[in-house]
Amino acid sequence: MFSHSTYGLEFTFELIKLYVFVIKRVPKATLTTAALEY
């Protein structure tokens, strides 16, 4: 059960790294436009 909790934490950390990676790669203008359209 403890290992499952650790796995969940690592999975969340991977999602955060991916999110930060995308933000750094995509121009801010594109993110703003996507946010307004959403």
pTM attached to this predicted model: 0.47
DSSP letter for each residue of the chain: -HHHHHHHHHHHHHHHHHHHHHHHHS-HHHHHHHHHH-
- Residue 38: predicted pLDDT: 61
Question: What tens digit of pLDDT does each residue of 2-38 get?
Answer: 556 677 888 899 999 998 888 888 777 776 777 777 6
- Residue 2: predicted pLDDT: 56
- Residue 4: predicted pLDDT: 65
User: What are the Cα distances from residue 33, in Å, to 15, 18, 30?
Assistant: 23, 20, 5
- Domain positions in the chain: 6-37
Torsion of CA 8, 14, 17, 19, to 10 degrees: -80
Whether 19 and 27 have beta carbons less than 8 Å apart is answered as: no
- Residue 17: predicted pLDDT: 93
